[in-house]
A and B are shown apart, each in its own frame.
Chain A
């Protein structure tokens, strides 16, 4: 699975959009970009994933660059409850092990 690089921390004002970047320059053609988050000691929560097209769901939007070497998770209107560690993970869907490799992630602090 390709390695990802994320900034260790970010701040965002409540009600504003939070844009979380992720670099994955060694991504392979069959690898997807997944985003999860973990709110203090709770189980990780799936947010969104994509292959090459931009994706949007009720939680967030995922923007993947045309060369697929980086992506951005967008929380359109951040709330205090969005304060969490956000993980960008690159992996083959339905891989042989199913293992998710969680790096250090980005700690997002949403401030009032």
Chain B
């Protein structure tokens, strides 16, 4: 969905490096989410935010941090990347006032060597 963008789309980095993945949305939604996808494991929730001042851990938050800079922006950081963080990362948004349907970005493929 072009209303949710993620940068970069692909990134290769080395163990120990700090990485930031960015997500922006033009849908005007309050809620934003970060998921990761590993082969055979489906999507797992890392962090979520229901508004600018609200940050919550998901099921696999260890090794990650987030920042909700504005309603439209939600960044995911890996402070010291490790190889098992190699995955496909998706950002999503939803509108509490609407149907709470989640709309996903195109994903970031991250490889940690």
Contacts and interface: CB of A to CB of B under 8 A. Distances in A.
B88 A41 contact: yes
Contacts of B31: 98
Contact of A46 (B58, B96, B102): B102
* Chain A interface residue number, banded: 20 to 34
Nearest to B103: A46
B74 interface: no
Nearest to A95: B100
A43 B1 contact: yes
A101 B100 CA distance: 14
Interface in B64-113: 88, 90, 92, 94, 96, 99-107, 109
Contacts of A99: 33, 45, 48, 58-59
Contact of A44 (B48, B90, B94): B90
Nearest to A102: B42
B99 A100 contact: no
Contacts of A101: 42
Contacts of B59: 99
A54 interface: no
Contacts of A102: 42-43
B99 A93 contact: yes
A49 to B, nearest CB: 7
A4 to B, nearest CB: 12
Task: List the 4 closest pairs (A to B, CB-CB), nearest first.
Answer: A43-B104, A102-B42, A102-B43, A94-B100
